[in-house]
Structure 1
């Protein structure tokens, strides 16, 4: 599984990445977490407000920091 965090590196983006790492650790799911900070790539993905999280190429949540529990629901 590939989890993509979209955002320019702001505090909310860092918090979302941390929540994703915690969710992966707590569920035991094998996942690669990738950060996309290039605004052109973020726009190409159709994201107009960051942070956002994508699972296997599909954007699931955008414009806010997803909780650890929300991310767990997406990855199990």
Structure 2
């Protein structure tokens, strides 16, 4: 399963040269929501994920996600 990575969003923001206010405006989201997601205090909703393409048109959406280890089945548990 893949999970959203606030650190990858921070890295993309840093490389872009934009500040949080500029990115929020470009994405059409509030600066507060962006800040909470960047700090890992809130998980992004589907609208935010879709808006990432407006903020970072040259990055694939899967860049912002990292794979989490799969849960191994425990013997005897079904």
With the length of structure 2 as denominator, give the TM-score of the two structures.
0.31
Give the structure with the larger strand fraction.
1
Give the structure with the larger helix fraction.
2
Higher Cα Rg: structure 1 or 2? 2
